[in-house]
Amino acid sequence: MTRPTNEPWLLTPGPLTTSKTTKDAMLRDWGSRDMAFLNTNRRIRSILLDLVNAADSHECVPVQGSGTFAVEAALGTLIKNTDKTLVLVNGAYGKRIARILEILGLNFTVQETPENQPNDVDALAGQLHSDPAISHVVAVHCETTSGLLNPIAEIADAVAKAGRKLIIDGMSAFGALPIDARDTQFEALIASSNKCLEGIPGLGFALIEKTALANAKGTSRSLCLDLFDQWQTMESNAQWRFTPPTHVIAALDSALSQLIAEGGPAGRLDRYKNNCRRLVNGMRALGFATLLPDTLQAPIIITFKMPTAKNFIFSNFYDHLKDQGYVIYPGKLTIIDSFRMGCIGHLTESQMSGALSAVEVALQRLGVAYPLKTPSPTNQTQRNVL
Ligand SMILES: *Cc1c(COP(=O)(O)O)cnc(C)c1O
């Protein structure tokens, strides 16, 4: 994996570094009614279902746009005005789901845990028991705000036991973290082209349980984001309703072949786990502290606590890394000051090692002594914020 000239490695949650093969797949034009394009479209829809063994139970409905477009589309298509939704929140993406429901004017309630704590399955079961009006639960598989892995299988069991429907925002998990439709019940699982699938941005999709989709006619309050209508059109003539993102789909088709060649989601997860381990160990050796204990950390993106060293100015740290060819991500937490480094994308341990050397150089340039002295978890300021 060599870096094309002037292109930094993206240690971000997406868009992220893609392979040259994926980029090369876009070097031609397709008509949207072209047979070759329609076949590609059919193939990606079927592979996306196969990745989670959902071909018998679900339909794959893609939609133009970033991941949030697909989230809004799926919620708006499946949740009726008479329904009530419980949103499990422990970060910005859960909050965004609640905001979408609010804008759609739907009835919902939120169950929130702190950003460094997983969704509380016992509390979920309790609330489903005490509020029979709740018809749907929405959960985020990997909360990209922190990098935290929520207990999605346990959540799905609790929801299924209570006879309710589960909608999963699997955006930053799909294609790497395990989920299987044959033993994890969900009404919809939503993701996008540009995270663990390592495609380019521009396409979201929802895998929707067949009966739920068939019953969704006329529910959406949007024309563009009506996944029932999108599905009907695609089923009837294999075409998209409106201009399809042809190059995004071609890139995704190539990215999916590469995913399968890597051993599918399990193979990809192995690479991400190695990346994560290398990055976390190396950063800890330099004195950085992770927000999460290893048991809650998904090998997708890692949140580091902002060092307290006087000379550590994040924007300068960021620039020094960028100069050396590595792009990292600012924090998105409300509980503490932090920054994030992703370990997904077309990257291996060799890029993680490169990033660690770049961090060391950045610390030298900032005049920050290392290993850093990290505040212990029982330190006063940490206790106040967490
Ligand atoms: C990336 C992401 C989204 C969608 O974000 P977009 O910027 O719209 O692509 C939604 N949920 C989660 C958990 C994500 O990681």
- Written in H, E and C, the secondary structure of the chain is CCCCCCCCEECCCCCCCCCHHHHHCCCCCCCCCCHHHHHHHHHHHHHHHHCCCCCCCEEEEEEECCHHHHHHHHHHHHCCCCCEEEEEECCHHHHHHHHHHHHCCCEEEEEECCCCCCCCHHHHHHHHHHCCCCCEEEEECEECCCCEECCHHHHHHHHHHCCCEEEEECCCCCCCCCCCCCCCCCCEEEEECCCCCCCCCCEEEEEEEHHHHHCCCCCCCCCCCCHHHHHHHHHHHCCCCCCCCHHHHHHHHHHHHHHHHCCHHHHHHHHHHHHHHHHHHHHHHCCCCECCCHHHECCCEEEEECCCCCCCCHHHHHHHHHHCCEECEECCCCCCCEEEEECCCCCCHHHHHHHHHHHHHHHHHHCCCCCCCCCCCCCHHHHHHC
pLDDT of residue 52: 98
Pocket test for ligand 1, best of 142, 148, 172 (most atoms within 8 A of CB): 172
Q: Would you say residue 134 lies in a domain?
A: yes
Q: Which atom of ligand 1 is nearest to the CA of 143?
A: 13
Residues 105 and 163 grouped into a single domain? yes
Q: Which residue carries 């060293």 as its tokens?
A: 309
Residues 251 and 276 grouped into a single domain? no
CATH number, residue 87:
3.40.640.10
Strand partners, 209: 58
CATH number, residue 293:
3.90.1150.10
Distance 139 CA to ligand 1 centre (A): 13
Residues 257 and 268 grouped into a single domain? no
Q: What does residue 92 show for φ and ψ, rounded to 5 degrees?
A: -65, -35
Pocket test for ligand 1, best of 10, 63, 64, 68 (most atoms within 8 A of CB): 68
Which of 208, 228, 261 is the endpoint of a domain? 261
pLDDT of residue 378: 43
Residues 245 and 268 grouped into a single domain? no
Q: Are 301 and 147 spatial neighbours (Cβ–Cβ below 8 Å)?
A: yes
Q: Are 9 and 351 spatial neighbours (Cβ–Cβ below 8 Å)?
A: yes
Task: Sort residue 96 into left (φ over 0), alpha (ψ -120 to 50) or beta.
Answer: alpha
Pocket of ligand 1 from Cβ distances under 6 Å: 13-14, 66-68, 71, 93, 140, 144, 169, 171-172, 192
How many Å apart are CA 366 and CA 255, to the nearest integer? Answer: 38
Q: Of all protein residues, whose CA lies closest to atom 6 belonging to ligand 1?
A: 67
Residues 207 and 326 grouped into a single domain? no
Residues 191 and 309 grouped into a single domain? no
Average pLDDT, the chain: 95
Pocket test for ligand 1, best of 149, 171, 179 (most atoms within 8 A of CB): 171
Q: Of all protein residues, whose CA lies closest to atom 9 belonging to ligand 1?
A: 67
Q: Of all protein residues, whose CA lies closest to atom 12 belonging to ligand 1?
A: 171
Q: Would you say residue 257 lies in a domain?
A: yes
Q: Would you say residue 14 lies in a domain?
A: no
Residues 166 and 300 grouped into a single domain? no
Q: Of all protein residues, whose CA lies closest to atom 4 belonging to ligand 1?
A: 67
Q: Are 194 and 200 spatial neighbours (Cβ–Cβ below 8 Å)?
A: yes
Distance 197 CA to ligand 1 centre (A): 13
Counted domains in the chain: 2
Residue segments in the chain with a per-residue pLDDT below the cut of 70: 1-5, 374-386
Tell the burial category of 347 from Cβ atoms under 10 Å away from its Cβ (0-12, 13-18, 19+): buried
In degrees, rounded to 5, the angle at the alpha carbon of residue 297 between the alpha carbons of residues 382 and 286 is 60
Q: What does residue 195 show for φ and ψ, rounded to 5 degrees?
A: -110, -115
Distance 370 CA to ligand 1 centre (A): 34
Pairing of strands 165-169, 148-149: unpaired
Q: Would you say residue 60 lies in a domain?
A: yes
Distance 196 CA to ligand 1 centre (A): 12
Distance 300 CA to ligand 1 centre (A): 13
Which of 261, 294, 319 is the endpoint of a domain? 261
Longest dimension (CA), the chain: 64
In degrees, rounded to 5, the angle at the alpha carbon of residue 46 between the alpha carbons of residues 45 and 51 is 105
Residues 99 and 208 grouped into a single domain? yes
Residues 215 and 284 grouped into a single domain? no
Q: Which residue carries 């965004």 as its tokens?
A: 96
Residues 301 and 320 grouped into a single domain? yes
| pTM check: above 0.75 | yes
Residues 248 and 321 grouped into a single domain? no
Q: Would you say residue 381 lies in a domain?
A: no
Task: Tell me the residue range of the domain where 283 lies.
Answer: 263-366
Q: Would you say residue 149 lies in a domain?
A: yes
Q: Which two structure tokens, joined as six digits, stand for 351?
A: 């890029």
List, in order, residues 6 or more apart from 374 with CB less than 8 Å away. Answer: 287, 288, 289, 305, 307
Q: How far is CA 328 from the centre of its chain?
A: 16
Distance 204 CA to ligand 1 centre (A): 10
List, in order, residues 6 or more apart from 157 with CB less than 8 Å away. Answer: none
Q: Would you say residue 8 lies in a domain?
A: no
Q: Would you say residue 6 lies in a domain?
A: no
Distance 310 CA to ligand 1 centre (A): 33
pLDDT of residue 384: 35
Residues 240 and 293 grouped into a single domain? no
Strand partners, 328: none
In degrees, rounded to 5, the angle at the alpha carbon of residue 83 between the alpha carbons of residues 54 and 153 is 35
Distance 102 CA to ligand 1 centre (A): 18
Distance 375 CA to ligand 1 centre (A): 31
Q: Which residue carries 């902002």 as its tokens?
A: 306
pLDDT of residue 380: 37
